[in-house]
């Protein structure tokens, strides 16, 4: 009888230890993915304006993000379109754009094993005229190593008083 009691006690002790380890693993997984990240991106931006030809413009991007946990983050996404092109604003005036810089502050939500939805306000800065915009996008983070990841993305930038652009890019990111 004493052996059965000791066996039950050892069994319960082992189960408690296993349950505690499982709980600790879940806590670690919830914190996995939090922290700072940076990424460099090369892409192309499709500039669509009424009455003018659509133009594909090469672009470079630099993203700086902070992830609160594995699901939610905030990011400063910066793109420079490295070409001169002409757009038509809401009044119908043609405006030359010389290497405009796009800055957005985006809320980030990760779902489905690496997909990230981005949404946020921003501004396109250029010496002739700047436009406020809203960005919505989709990214996919594919881990290469524990710290490096591949980052294909697509964004729609809708200017409030001007035009809209679609951006498709591919980047390399680093989890700090």
Residue 23: strand, helix, or coil: helix
pLDDT digit string, tens, across residues 67-105: 999 999 999 999 999 998 888 877 778 888 999 999 999
Question: Quick one: which of 41, 43, 77, 40 has its CA closest to 57?
Answer: 43
Quick one: how far is CA 88 from the chain centroid? 29
Record the pTM: 0.76
pLDDT digit string, tens, across residues 113-150: 899 999 999 999 999 889 999 999 999 999 999 999 99
pLDDT digit string, tens, across residues 12-41: 555 555 444 444 444 444 445 689 999 999
Q: Which two tokens stand for residue 68?
A: 């609160």
């Amino acid at each position: 009888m004493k052996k059965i009691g000791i066996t039950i006690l050892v069994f319960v002790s082992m189960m408690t230890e296993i349950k505690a380890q499982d709980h600790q693993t879940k806590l670690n997984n919830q914190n996995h993915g939090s922290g700072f990240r940076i990424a460099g991106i090369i892409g192309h931006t499709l500039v669509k304006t009424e009455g003018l030809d659509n133009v594909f413009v090469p672009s470079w991007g630099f993203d700086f993000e902070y992830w609160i946990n594995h699901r939610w983050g905030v990011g400063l996404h910066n793109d420079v379109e490295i070409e001169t092109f002409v757009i038509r604003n809401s009044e119908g005036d043609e405006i030359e754009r010389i290497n405009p810089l796009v800055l957005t502050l985006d809320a980030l939500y990760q779902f489905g094993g690496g997909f990230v939805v981005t949404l946020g306000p921003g501004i396109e800065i250029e010496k002739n005229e700047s436009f406020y915009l809203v960005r919505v996008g989709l990214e996919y983070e594919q881990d290469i190593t524990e710290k490096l990841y591949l980052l294909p993305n697509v964004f729609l930038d809708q200017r409030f008083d001007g035009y809209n652009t679609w951006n498709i890019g591919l980047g390399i990111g680093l989890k700090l």
